[in-house]
Amino acid sequence: MELGRAIDGYIDAVLSSSRLSTRTLTAYASDLEALHRYCSSRDVTDTGQIDLELLRDWLWSDAQQGHAPATLARHRAAVRGFGEWLRDTGRTAANPAARLRAPSPGRSLPHLVRSERIADAAAALRDASAQGDHRAGRDLCVLELLYATGMRVSELVSLDVDGVNLDELTVRVTGKGDKERVIPFGVPARTATIDYVTRDRPALLGNRPSRATTAALVLGVRGERVNARTVYRIVNGLFPEAGGPAGAGPHTLRHSTATHLLDGGADLRNVQEFLGHSSLGTTQIYTHVSAERLAASYRQAHPRA
């Protein structure tokens, strides 16, 4: 359903039910109109295109514009109510905002995982995999691919084996709006993927002839295509200290990839293409992250800071 019409329908439904005060309804209508403008800037025009990642980016963008925590919390409430209505009226299968959290006061920039922590986690998984832990081998492949490519969790779980070119060190993913892009990756991700595909993936398939021809790259313990919730569990288990009270998730690694690329001197427009952002404004949040990291280092290290 077209997003603008859906928002109008939701406001009309709430107005007729008298569940909210006029003041609250007016505020929610304003918030959802702001969401509509943000979605338009990202070429998102249909309710079916709205997902958790998009809503998180919207809140991060609002935080960067200086909105107070109370305002961000209201934005979250508005979009969660809208999401419930979309689900209840059959316009979406689930509420895309069900797991949305407003940024905490003083923590408006995306959470990151340091490259050293990622290296430590990868080493631990590599050791466990070498001891025959097939799940660790799978998790190492997930970690290395997510961090190397910055891909979205939706892109990872829909990735097929033939989408990874281990000779050219590229992966072909289908992102938002069914847009395909080819992302390069490095030798650590290649090594982890080869080990997983040759050793761990067959073990996860096990004696399941009906599943033996499945195209999915990343598999669950029952041999089925892994889902986003499992990937969240994997990343959160590796980096429980990152990401605030809710812990880290795949999006934390995506933020980390983008920030580390910019810290290393990558061009902003190249990072935009790398991440599959339709708008350069979405990518620019990472310049704020890099600037804040630089300022924090300066304050800690410079004698006249």
Give catalytic status of residue 286 as yes or no: yes
Of the listed 28, 147, 196, 286, which one is catalytic?
A: 286
User: What is the rounded CA–CA span in Å between residue 234 and residue 140?
Assistant: 10
Is residue 78 situated within a structural domain?
yes
Q: Quick check: is 269 in a domain?
A: yes
In a domain, 305, yes or no: no
pLDDT for the residue numbered 298: 43
* One domain, residues 57 and 138: no
Is 67 an active-site residue? no
**How does pLDDT run along the chain (305 residues), one tens digit per residue?**
899 999 999 998 888 876 677 788 889 999 999 999 999 988 889 998 998 888 988 888 787 677 888 888 899 999 999 999 999 998 888 999 998 886 554 444 557 888 899 999 999 999 999 999 999 999 999 999 999 999 988 899 999 999 999 999 999 998 777 788 899 999 999 999 999 999 999 999 885 654 545 789 999 988 889 988 899 899 989 998 775 545 578 888 888 888 888 778 887 788 888 888 766 666 666 665 555 554 554 455 545 43
Output the 3-class SS for the chain: CEHHHHHHHHHHHHHHHCCCCHHHHHHHHHHHHHHHHHHHHCCCCEHHHCCHHHHHHHHHHHHHCCCCHHHHHHHHHHHHHHHHHHHHCCCCCCCCCCCCCCCCCCCCCCCCCCHHHHHHHHHHHHHHHHCCCHHHHHHHHHHHHHHHHCCCHHHHHCCEHHHEECCCCEEEEECHHHCEEEEECCHHHHHHHHHHHHHHHHHHHCCCHHHCCCCECCECCCCCECCHHHHHHHHHHHCCCCCHHHCCCHHHHHHHHHHHHHHCCCCHHHHHHHHCCCCHHHHCHHHHHHHHHHHHHHHHHCCCC
Residue 60 lies in a domain: yes
CATH number of residue 232's parent domain: 1.10.443.10
Tell me if 98 is assigned to some domain. no
**Euclidean distance between CA atoms 181 and 204, whole angstroms:** 28
CATH number, domain of 7, equals 1.10.150
Clarify whether residues 153 and 237 are in a common domain: yes
Provide the domain limits for residue 74: 3-88
Catalytic residue among 42, 74, 75, 152: 152
The predicted model scores a pTM of 0.60
Query: 49 — phi, psi (to 5°)?
Result: -90, -10
**Catalytic residue among 74, 76, 201, 251, which?**
251
Residue 95 lies in a domain: no
Count up the domains in the chain and report the number.
2
15 and 59 together in one domain:
yes
In the annotation, is 260 catalytic? no
Catalytic, out of 176, 190, 255, 260: 176
